[in-house]
Amino acid sequence: IADDSEISTVGIGKGLNYRGYNIEDLANGCIFEEVLYLLLYKELPTKDQLTYFQEQIAENRYIPATLAEVIECVPKDSHPMDLMRTVASFLGTIEPESEENDQYKISIRLSAIFAPCLFYWYHFHKSGKRIEVDTHKSDTIAKNIIRLLKNDGKEPEELLVKTMEVSLILYAEHDFNASAYNARVTASTLSDFYSGITSAIGTLRGPLHGGANEAAIRFIKQFKTKEEAEAKLYEMYSQKKLVMGFGHRIYKNGDPRSDIIKEYSRKLTKTDQGRPDLFEISERIENIMMSEKKMHPNLDFYSASAYYQLGLPVDFFTPIFVVSRTSGWAAHIIEQRSRNKLIRPASNYIGPEPKKFSVLDMRSKI
């Protein structure tokens, strides 16, 4: 146990709760902004509070000219996570934390601006367009993402928006995961808020933390049939290779988020851009993993096919994770600051016993 926290429970009761609320209830009954508000302010908003909160988010989507210049300079072949890290760090230099620009305002600003920056960069390098990121004032973060992704002037389909909405809620918070804990370590040094978020993004960039859904879709996409996937799985078993998107260090009886996003992936198969073949292959893989290895899919596995059917570039899966998880990181930084103590763990030394020192001229030549 590293410390106390009142933000979320993982693997207790029904499996996952944010500030006491079950993840299934939140996913089924909320928009992401309600969950963001809950994580920041410890309670679900009233209707008036939510309206004002959404107005704040809409007002914070704009990209300053200096930041736009920096975004355009990020090479088109960079990993989008490098862009997200750069946005957080650079924004901290032009809109530094202060008494007026406090941790709550920065939380809202980053939650609002991350997706616009991602898609501004995407369209600038893809087609040379400097897109307008400040979409309709009534757009939720999820709807803003879909609108900026498509950039076709059309009203986004309701199912696409709802799938993104649910995904953002499911990825929002997960106790002392690697990136959240790194954010807390940074905050414990009394560093600024942006440094905590930047640390977290750098941690999430690693494929053993973020990136599992990217690996999962690349694995699934290589198969043309369910039978081909089945044969490959048994080959991987014999070689003791890891199948991404399965198992969890905490959830031993299944990730409660998996069935939720799986249902939305299933629904997406019936849309114009749906891929029922990928979903069927995913289900075959799940069934074999359960029967042969007793391993359940985690959130990343069916998020992979859901995101792919939304039309998200595969390299954008983890940056969308950032848009969502910024809410949890912010909650952890705020909580760490509220009762701060420097996080400085000790190591278990496994090096050599004390040695006798010799000056340079007395050391034997090898």
Among candidate residues 139, 175, 255, 300, the one labeled active-site is 300
Contact 309, 268 (CB under 8 A): yes
Structure tokens at 55: 């107005």
Contact 308, 217 (CB under 8 A): yes
Structure tokens at 99: 């008494």
What's the gap between Cα 146 and its chain centre? 16
Among candidate residues 123, 134, 192, 209, the one labeled active-site is 209
H-helix segments, 172-310: 178-188, 193-204, 212-221, 226-238, 258-268, 276-288, 299-310
Q: Which residues contact 297 (CB under 8 A, 6 or more apart)?
A: 245, 246, 255, 258, 262, 286, 289
d(CA 240, CA 250): 22
Helix (H) or strand (E) holding 17: strand 16-18
Lateral strand order in the sheet of 16-18: 8-10, 16-18, 21-22
Is 174 noted as a catalytic residue in this protein? no
Residue positions counted in the chain: 366
Among candidate residues 139, 174, 175, 248, the one labeled active-site is 248
Closest CA to 122 of 164, 180, 92, 79: 79
Is 136 noted as a catalytic residue in this protein? no
Active site residues: 209, 248, 300
